[in-house]
C-alpha cells in the first residue's frame, strides 16, 4: 500500500468519481433539466484539467501503484488538452444532440469515461496499464459511435469500429505477450534495461513483438494500411462522436507510442523507426490523394486525418537516431506540438459542421458550405483559418507545426535509414502538403465564391459562439506566437526523457 500513492492519480480519481456521481444523479434529472448534467460534466472536466495544471506548475514526476503509473509534465500537458478538448466537444455537441434525441446523461457519462481512458493511457508505465486505458477509452467510444440505435449508418459504423478495434487490440496484446516472453517484464523502464543489457531471451521475438505493437498503434492513429475503419466511422457516427474520436484519443495514442517505443523499446529503435517511415509515407500518399475525390466533408476530413498522422509519424521517426536523447527531445516535442495543434484545429472544424447542422439536416457535404460568407462572415472566417491551418498556410499554427516537423526530420532523421533518406522524406511531405492544399482551399472557395444553397438562419447558443470564436483565435494566435506552447512541449519531453 505504501507504493500506491493515490495523489499521482488525483485527476483520474476526480473524473471517475464525478462520472459515477453524474450517472446516478442523471436518473433524478428530467429531460427539461438536462443542463444540470451538462454543467456538472463540464465542471468535472475542468476540475480534472485544473489538477493536471497544478501538477504541471510543480514540475512533478511521480511513480505510483508499484510503478504501474507515472505522472510527469508530458502526461499533464497532454491530459489538460485532452480534457479541455472533450469539454469543448460537449459544448459543440449540445444543439445537435438535442435535435436528434441523444442528449442524455449516458452520452455525457460515456464521454467522461472515454476521457478517463485517455488519461490512463497517457500515464501508463506498464504494458497492462496501457491496455486497460486503451480498452476503457475504446469501449466508451464504441458505445458512443452507435448511440443512435435507429440510424443504420451509425450502427454499421459502430460494428466496424468494434470489430476492427478488437483486431487492433489483439495486435497490441500479441505484441505485448511477445515482449513479456522475451524480456520477462511488463514494466516499460525495466523492459528497456533488460533489452539494453542483452537479458532478452530472443531478439527475433522482440522484433516480432515490436512489429505487432507498431501495427496496433498505427491502427489507433489511422495510419495506412490500418486506416480502413476511419472514413466509415467518421462518416457514420453522429458528428459530435466523430469529433470525440478525432481529438483526445489521438493525444493518448501519441503518449503510448512515446511510452512504448522510446521509454520501453529504445534499444530497438533501428527496427521501429524504419516501420514508422514506411507508415508515414503511405499515409501521406493515400490520405491526401484520396481526400481529393471526396464530396462529403466528414469523409474528406477522415482522409485528411490519415495524411496529418503521416506528418506526425515523420517527427516520431526522426527521433533517437543512434540513441541521441537530444534528437529524441527535439523530434518528439515537434510531434507533440503537432498532435496538440491538430486536435485544436479539428475541434473547430467539426464545431462549424455542428453549427450548420439542424434538425433533419446534417450539413455534411462540402456543398452545404456554399455561400457561408454571405450568411455569416465571422463563421466563414473562422472556417477559413481552420482550413488554412490544416493546409499549413501561414500565419496559422498548422504552418508552424509542419515547419518544425520538417526541421526535426532534417535535423535528426539522416542516420536511421542512411544516405539522404531524410531529405527525400521531407520533399515527399512537402509535395503531399501541396496536394492537400487543393482540397482544403476548395472548401474556402465554396464558402466565399459560390451562391448560398441554404438561406436558413445560423442559430448558435452563447457558449458555442464563444467556444468557436476562441477556437479560431487560438489557431491564429498560436501560429503568430507558437514559442510558448512549443517551449512547454520541449520542456515536458526533456523531463519525460529524464533530462
d(CA 195, CA 58): 33
Give the span between the Cα atoms of 262 and 10, in whole angstroms.
Answer: 26
H helix and E strand count, the chain = 21, 2
Q: What mean pLDDT comes out for the span 463-482? A: 93
> What is the pLDDT averaged over residues 382-402?
93
- pLDDT confidence of residue 253: 93
**Cα–Cα distance between 366 and 391 in angstroms, integer?**
16
- Looking at residue 447, its pLDDT comes to 92
Q: How confident is the model at residue 3, as a pLDDT? A: 62
CA distances from 400 to 164, 475, 490 (A): 34, 11, 15
The per-residue pLDDT for range 423-434, each reduced to its tens digit, is 888 899 999 999
Map residue 365 onto helix, strand or coil.
strand
Least reliable range by pLDDT among 19-23, 124-128, 303-307, 313-317: 313-317
- The fraction of the chain above a pLDDT of 90, given in percent, is 60
The pLDDT, as a whole number, for residue 1 is 43
pLDDT recorded at residue 300:
94
pLDDT above 90 for 196: no
- Summarize pLDDT for 105-161 with one digit per residue, the tens: 899 999 999 999 999 999 999 999 999 999 999 999 999 999 988 888 889 999 999
pTM: 0.94
Cα distances (Å, whole numbers) of residue 401 to 57, 283, 345: 25, 18, 12
pLDDT score for 424? 87
Residue 330 has a pLDDT of 82
Taking the domains of the chain in order of start, what are their residue ranges? 6-496
Rounded CA-CA distance 386/398 in Å is 9
Number of residues assigned to the chain = 499
197-211, 384-398, 437-451, 462-476: which range is least confident on average? Answer: 197-211
- Rg of the Cα atoms in the chain: 22
Amino acid at each position: 500500500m505504501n507504493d500506491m500513492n493515490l495523489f499521482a492519480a488525483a485527476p483520474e480519481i476526480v473524473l471517475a468519481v464525478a462520472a459515477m456521481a453524474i450517472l446516478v444523479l442523471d436518473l433524478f434529472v428530467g429531460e427539461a433539466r438536462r443542463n444540470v448534467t451538462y454543467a456538472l460534466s463540464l465542471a468535472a472536466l475542468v476540475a480534472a484539467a485544473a489538477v493536471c495544471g497544478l501538477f504541471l506548475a510543480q514540475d512533478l514526476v511521480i511513480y505510483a501503484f508499484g510503478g504501474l503509473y507515472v505522472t510527469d509534465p508530458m502526461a499533464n500537458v497532454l491530459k489538460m488538452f485532452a480534457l479541455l478538448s472533450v469539454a469543448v466537444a460537449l459544448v459543440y455537441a449540445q444543439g445537435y444532440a438535442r435535435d436528434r434525441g441523444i442528449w442524455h446523461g449516458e452520452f455525457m457519462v460515456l464521454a467522461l469515461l472515454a476521457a478517463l481512458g485517455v488519461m490512463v493511457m497517457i500515464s501508463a508505465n506498464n504494458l497492462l496499464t496501457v491496455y486497460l486505458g486503451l480498452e476503457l477509452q475504446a469501449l466508451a467510444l464504441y458505445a458512443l459511435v452507435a448511440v443512435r440505435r435507429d440510424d443504420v449508418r451509425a450502427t454499421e459504423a459502430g460494428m466496424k469500429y468494434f470489430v476492427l478495434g478488437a483486431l487492433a487490440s489483439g495486435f497490441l496484446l500479441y505484441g505485448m505477450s511477445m515482449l513479456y516472453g522475451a524480456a520477462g517484464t511488463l514494466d516499460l523502464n525495466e523492459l528497456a534495461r533488460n533489452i539494453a543489457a542483452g537479458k532478452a531471451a530472443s531478439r527475433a521475438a522482440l522484433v516480432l513483438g515490436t512489429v505487432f505493437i507498431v501495427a496496433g498503434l498505427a491502427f489507433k492513429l489511422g495510419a495506412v494500411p490500418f486506416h480502413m475503419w476511419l472514413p466509415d466511422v467518421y462518416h457514420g457516427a453522429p458528428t459530435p462522436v466523430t469529433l470525440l474520436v478525432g481529438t483526445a484519443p489521438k493525444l493518448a495514442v501519441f503518449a503510448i507510442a512515446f511510452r512504448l517505443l522510446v521509454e520501453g523499446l529504445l534499444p530497438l529503435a533501428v527496427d521501429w523507426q524504419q516501420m514508422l517511415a514506411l507508415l508515414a509515407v503511405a499515409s501521406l500518399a493515400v490520405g491526401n490523394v484520396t481526400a481529393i475525390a471526396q464530396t462529403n466533408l466528414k469523409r474528406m476530413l477522415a482522409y485528411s486525418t490519415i495524411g496529418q498522422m503521416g506528418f506526425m509519424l515523420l517527427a516520431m521517426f526522426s527521433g533517437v537516431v543512434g540513441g541521441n536523447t537530444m534528437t529524441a527531445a527535439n523530434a518528439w516535442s515537434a510531434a507533440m506540438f503537432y498532435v496538440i495543434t491538430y486536435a485544436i484545429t479539428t475541434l473547430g472544424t467539426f464545431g462549424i459542421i455542428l453549427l450548420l447542422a439542424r434538425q433533419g439536416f446534417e450539413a455534411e457535404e462540402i456543398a452545404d458550405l456554399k455561400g457561408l460568407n454571405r450568411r455569416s462572415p465571422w463563421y466563414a472566417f473562422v472556417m477559413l483559418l481552420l482550413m488554412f491551418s490544416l493546409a499549413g498556410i501561414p500565419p496559422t499554427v498548422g504552418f508552424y507545426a509542419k515547419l518544425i516537423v520538417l526541421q526535426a526530420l532534417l535535423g535528426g532523421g539522416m542516420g536511421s535509414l542512411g544516405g539522404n533518406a531524410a531529405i527525400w522524406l521531407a520533399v515527399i511531405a512537402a509535395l503531399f502538403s501541396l496536394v492537400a492544399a487543393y482540397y482544403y482551399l476548395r472548401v474556402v472557395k465554396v464558402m466565399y465564391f459560390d451562391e448560398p444553397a441554404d438561406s436558413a438562419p445560423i442559430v448558435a447558443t452563447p457558449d458555442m459562439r464563444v467556444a468557436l470564436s476562441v477556437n479560431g483565435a487560438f489557431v491564429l494566435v498560436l501560429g503568430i506566437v507558437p514559442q510558448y506552447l512549443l517551449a512547454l512541449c520541449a520542456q515536458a519531453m526533456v523531463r519525460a526523457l529524464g533530462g
